[in-house]
Structure 1
Amino acid sequence: MSQNPSAADLIRTHLARVEQLRHEATAAGWQSAVDEVKRLQARRFRATYSDFLRHARYAPATHFFLTELYGVHDFVERDAQFSRIAGALERLFPEAVAQLAVDLAETHALTEVLDQTLASHWLTLETSLPPATRYIMSWRLTGSLSSRERQLSVIQHMGLELQRLTRMKSLRLGLRMMRNPARLAGLDALQHFLETGFDAFSSLGDARPFLDTINERESRWVAAFFDLPLDECSAALSMELANSN
């Protein structure tokens, strides 16, 4: 009788997929295009959530999502640390912490698959096109509405779990006590991610309005990227990108 994969297995599977995609992007010469796509998306996110970034209550959680999940960073070291201690996470921490790591790994893998596919289409389009138009055309060639919806679903779950975990004072204290052991064990990137997430959501209070707004705004953009007439969508995205500067 088959068993459901463990949290550790899921983490390793998702992160192995990310590592494979990195190698494929490098081998295919797509990495610079992947980085271009990520930078454009980061600009759009900053503009879409500029009000949250200025809001004392919402700013830490917004920075956490934009930096730790969708930032234009090299996550190789953090991924390696998560993968290396996936089994220990499951053994030593509450189930919700292990599930949080699964959510992170799945979001990371989904994002890399979509960004790399989008970048492969980006490279086939005329460089003379406005970046917004080129991005939307690449998005439509990529398709994968179900994966976009799954991204949003996992983000919602991750946010709610972070909120729930921040209420466990013993867990927060335990994380603080892990700083030096984590550093000595070469797990400082992982430690930073966990503490940053806990700090961000402990200051948030009720996370539901924050997460509901993210879901509403991202769903609206996803719908526009797929269905709005190209000229109209390009104008809207160009205006949004201009607001990120």
Structure 2
Amino acid sequence: MSQNIIQHIYRVNALRDLAGQLGLMPKIHQLQYWQCARLLISHDDLAKQQRYQKAMAFFVEELYGPKDFSQRDADLVRVIPKLAKVLPDKAMNAMNDALSLNALSFDLDMAMAQYLTQHYPDSDIDRDNYAEAYRSVGRSEDRAHQIDIISHLGDQLAEVIKVRGIGMLISLSRRPAKMAGLLALHEFLERGFNAFKAIGDVQSFIHPVLNREKTLMQALFAEDLVLPQDNPLPKVHLEQGLF
């Protein structure tokens, strides 16, 4: 499992380096921000419920957003073998899912950014050029796998929060993590645990998200979809902050 996690990190680092060389990072960041805003609109009813707010923020900011994860990833590569000896298997599986999702999402975002840069070099991202890019890039199997990873991640998180003593373990490790220069990694773990612990029933959050995202994916890939009039995406108005 440790090696899988490291490979996900190496993959996304290689993609980031390539995107930087191609000058795609500004467009990727714009795309990621737009997608985060779209997620919050599509799941507005969940985002407004207090018990789900931390979980929604974690998904948007820690797994999908334009945040710089380089320090967290460097921390992970450095200590993942040691973490594997301390954390339960369910926690390691959840971390593997999270990093796998991050790598696949960045890969797809990069492909979308390339299309948008080529066909809409001077335009901001909107629902119409996003839908066109989504369909043109295709990769429906990867899109379906992206949703499958979220489903499995939800199952693992539901089990992690039940592990006796893991909350205390994470809390007590904050000071040693800070002294060891691993604060970015610790904050990622602590925030994820606290977000889903607050829900209790993780599936009550994950299932609606999965069902809606599957429906949207299927609508975007439908053979009889006519753009822009049949665009299933919501209108997104970007504001200063997502939360």
Tell me if both proteins adopt one fold, taking TM over 0.5 as the criterion.
Answer: yes
Q: Judge which range, 167-176 or 124-133, deviates more.
A: 124-133
CA distance in 2, matches of 1:138, 1:194: 34
- Please name the residue that 1:19 is paired with: 13
Matched to 2:6, the amino acid is R
Which among 171, 182, 194 is matched to residue 166 of structure 2? 171
Q: Judge which range, 85-94 or 12-21, deviates more.
A: 85-94
Matched to 1:121, the amino acid is Y
Which among 200, 215, 220 is matched to residue 215 of structure 2? 220
Which among 217, 227, 232 is matched to residue 230 of structure 1? 227
User: Does structure 2 conserve the Cα–Cα contact (< 8 Å) formed by 1:11 and 1:102?
Assistant: yes
* CA shift in 2, pair 1:169/1:244, >3 Å: farther
Deviation at 1:28, TM superposition (A): 0.7
| TM-score for the superposition, normalised by structure 1 | 0.90
Which among 84, 97, 100 is matched to residue 78 of structure 2? 84
CA distance in 2, matches of 1:233, 1:185: 53
Matched to 2:95, the amino acid is A
CA distance in 1, matches of 2:236, 2:146: 22
Which among 78, 102, 107 is matched to residue 101 of structure 2? 107
- Please name the residue that 1:35 is paired with: 29
- Please name the residue that 2:184 is paired with: 189
* CA shift in 2, pair 1:30/1:204, >3 Å: same
- Please name the residue that 2:87 is paired with: 93
Deviation at 1:143, TM superposition (A): 0.9
* CA shift in 2, pair 1:94/1:128, >3 Å: closer
Which among 144, 147, 153 is matched to residue 149 of structure 1? 144
Which among 195, 198, 202 is matched to residue 200 of structure 1? 195
Q: Runs (4+) of structure 1 moved beyond 6 Å?
A: none
User: Does structure 2 conserve the Cα–Cα contact (< 8 Å) formed by 1:64 and 1:196?
Assistant: yes
User: Does structure 2 conserve the Cα–Cα contact (< 8 Å) formed by 1:48 and 1:240?
Assistant: no
The runs of 5 or more residues in structure 1 that have no matched partner are 1-6
CA distance in 2, matches of 1:125, 1:207: 40
CA distance in 2, matches of 1:128, 1:193: 34
Deviation at 1:74, TM superposition (A): 0.8
Matched to 1:165, the amino acid is V
The runs of 5 or more residues in structure 2 that have no matched partner are none
Matched to 2:190, the amino acid is E
Give the aligned CA root-mean-square deviation in angstroms.
Answer: 1.8
Deviation at 1:64, TM superposition (A): 1.2
CA distance in 1, matches of 2:100, 2:230: 29
Deviation at 1:130, TM superposition (A): 6.9
Q: Judge which range, 104-113 or 137-146, deviates more.
A: 137-146
Q: Judge which range, 152-161 or 213-222, deviates more.
A: 152-161
Deviation at 1:192, TM superposition (A): 0.9
CA distance in 1, matches of 2:21, 2:125: 27
Deviation at 1:224, TM superposition (A): 2.2
